[in-house]
Amino acid sequence: MSDPAAVQSLVEAVRNAPKYAAVDAGLVQALVEQELAKGRSVKETIKAVRNKLHQVGSAYQEKPIGYAQLTRQLTALSHDLHSPEIKAFCLAGMREHTSTRERLGFLEDFYRQPLAGLGPIHSLLDLACGLNPLALPWLPLAPNAQLFACDIYADMADFLNTFYAHTGVNGRAFTCDLIHHLPKQQVELALLLKTIPCLEQVDKSIGRRLLSSIQAEHMLISFPVHSLGGRGKGMRVNYDQHFRELIVDLPWQVTRFDFPGELVYRLSRV
């Protein structure tokens, strides 16, 4: 067993880099312990953990997100989630994160088509959410729907909670480590968007575990169809095959939707 003081020192060293300072400390600790168990040195452990954190999160933030500036802008705006100025703010905010920016060209269809027929959503869990909660004005939500969103970044969660409070949304954002702690919330709809490939860089079994364990009546799962550099490389075909393997013998009815930059599946319990 690793010395707790040594582990804590390494956690602090990893988080000393500005791009990792807001990452959930529990996730960093778990990754540090995994690397130490492999017999890595201090220097090797720090490098390996930062590489994994880059794969699961920071690769999608080309530059630090200016949460303080976004918050100042938000305070001057309407409190109505569906007002034109709030929707414009949300669109601008989503451009700050690669994952949501790639979706803006087909945002309305992205939710309208896969969620057609489900009716107003009363509870929602957005996993590894990024800035996707800023898409709430485009989701078919019931009044006072209960919303949960989680990611590995504490500053992101703080900003999203400010957004929820400003718009009067019944929501809570929090940090989470999906690799080591699966969520327990029971919801009508869960979102797991472009997340499985990232997490599988750290844990090859995580996709199946998530699809087996998330307590939702419906799920929206998606995969990217091109790399961050814009190359397709047969990703749509490969991820479809991979998803079909992950879902074997699980109690889900699956419907596929194809968008220009994203491969989407709606899962409904059977």
- pLDDT single digits (tens) 108-166: 999 999 999 998 999 999 999 999 999 999 999 999 999 999 999 999 999 999 999 99
Q: Which of the four pLDDT bands, split at 50, 70 and 90, describes residue 229?
A: low
Structure tokens at 249: 């013998």
On the question of pLDDT at 80 being above 70, the answer is: yes
> For the whole model, what pTM was predicted?
0.94
| Of 222, 234, 227, 177, the residue nearest 202 (C-alpha) | 177
**C-alpha distances in Å from residue 110, one per residue of 172, 178, 200, 223, 242:** 23, 24, 24, 13, 21
Start-to-end CA distance of the chain, whole Å, equals 43
